[in-house]
Amino acid sequence: MLAWFGIGLVLALFVAAGVLAAAMLGYFGGSSAVHPNSNFSVAKARDFRDFPVFYAGPEANGQELTATNYEPLGPLRKSQWSVEFSYGTCDIGPGFDPGGCSLPVSISNEPACSRNLSMYGGALSPEPDLTRVRGTKAAFFEGGNRLEIQTGTTTVVIFAFSKREALSVAQNLRGLNVPVSAGDRLPPPAPGAVEGTLPCGAR
């Protein structure tokens, strides 16, 4: 339950930060289009060695790659970091809109030690809709808008507007620092990755 609380808190903070940033950009910039900022790059992701990193290429579902980021997951997630890819922009309308907006596609690569399917067993956790994607274990959440894929020592989290769109992104995932092409079978989870016993730092 504590593990799920950690994931829930990080998601809440991620959404809140995104909403606030989007609203502020719309208000202060006088523009309705929100363009995410980057603190990382595809080139740096190729050289990244902590865990396998996947993205959907220069575009996903017709949306261009607009940002690449390396973000802390916080102490409740074992102080690990994620590599994230954002696609497209979104509109919030003129002025300060507390509702913010969601990007069409986001992909977060996270160490399986800090995010895995074993974390969703508590009474308050969401019920995973278990499935298989490209030969490996996965689960849908939020009615299909979120897809979590366990491959190697990484959990790839895809956010999209529908299950169909999330699956389309998943089919186009390719490795940046591992030899996996779009459409290939994804490597199976490392021993202990799904069960939550994989130590952090394993690759």
How far is 171 from 134, CA to CA, in rounded Å? 7
d(CA 92, CA 28): 12
Answer with the residue of higher pLDDT: 161 or 93.
161
Domain ranges for the chain: 32-175
Asked whether residue 25 carries a pLDDT value surpassing 50, the answer given is no
The dotted CATH code for 32-175 is: 3.30.200.100
Q: Report helix, strand and coil shares of the chain as percent, to nearest 5.
A: 25, 30, 45
pLDDT of 29 reads 47
Tokens 């910039």 found at = 29
Per-residue pLDDT band for 1 (boundaries 50, 70, 90) equals: very low
